[in-house]
């Protein structure tokens, strides 16, 4: 960006769209982290739980790739979750050195609580927007994300 930065709280001009998106994303993450901390969870853990809820048996390497997280981050999250009894590691039936990950019943329950906390946050974030505005915002945000993915060479996802 060239020129003077806008003061805090002032939305940047269109040329700073990426900065505005990054700032909004970080603010939403901080709000999510604050809510999830009450459950003893992080956003990385909840993202991992979501993946395991929909596709049980993934390895830590699978999760790192799908979630765009460092393998070390996934390893830390898995270890902490396993110590709390939220995730179970099982040897792969074919590839014995690969450990598959599964949510335990307690992990599934924690994930439900986390999903409720995130849904509450989303309702609070969209407070004051009518249904049409929410739908338009969602459509435009999804389209922007799809364009950014296409420009990155990763495709839609």
Mind listing the pLDDT tens digit for each residue in 36-62? Answer: 999 999 999 999 999 999 999 999 999
Domain-embedded: residue 135:
no
What the block records as the tokens of 26 is 């970080």
Q: Give the separation between CA 14 and CA 5, rounded to whole angstroms.
A: 13
Q: Which domain holds residue 77?
A: 17-121
Please tell me the total count of domains within the chain: 1
Half-sphere exposure at residue 119, Cβ-oriented, CA atoms within 13 angstroms: 6
Q: Is the pLDDT of residue 157 over 50?
A: no
CATH number at residue 108: 1.10.10.10
Domain-embedded: residue 100:
yes
pTM for the model: 0.77
Confidence of residue 21 (pLDDT cuts 50, 70, 90): confident
**Average per-residue pLDDT for the chain:** 89
DSSP codes of every residue in 67-82: HT--HHHHHHHHHHHH
Q: Give the separation between CA 32 and CA 107, rounded to whole angstroms.
A: 18
Segment 79-118, tens digit of pLDDT = 999 999 999 999 887 877 889 999 999 999 999 999 999 9
Domain-embedded: residue 38:
yes
Q: Give the separation between CA 127 and CA 43, rounded to whole angstroms.
A: 22
């Amino acid at each position: 960006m060239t020129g003077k930065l806008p003061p805090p709280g002032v939305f940047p001009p269109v040329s700073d769209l990426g900065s505005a998106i990054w700032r909004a994303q970080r603010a939403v993450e901080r709000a999510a982290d604050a809510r999830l901390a009450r459950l003893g969870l992080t956003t990385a853990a909840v993202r991992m739980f979501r993946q395991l809820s929909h596709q049980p048996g993934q390895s830590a390497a699978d999760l790192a790739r799908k979630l765009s997280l460092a393998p070390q981050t996934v390893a830390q999250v898995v270890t902490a979750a396993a110590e709390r009894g939220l995730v179970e590691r099982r040897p792969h039936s074919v590839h014995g050195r690969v450990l598959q990950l599964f949510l335990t019943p307690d992990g599934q329950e924690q994930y439900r609580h986390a999903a409720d906390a995130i849904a509450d946050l989303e309702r609070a974030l969209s407070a004051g927007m009518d249904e049409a505005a929410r739908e338009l915002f969602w459509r435009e945000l999804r389209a922007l994300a799809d364009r950014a993915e296409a420009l990155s060479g990763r495709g839609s996802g």
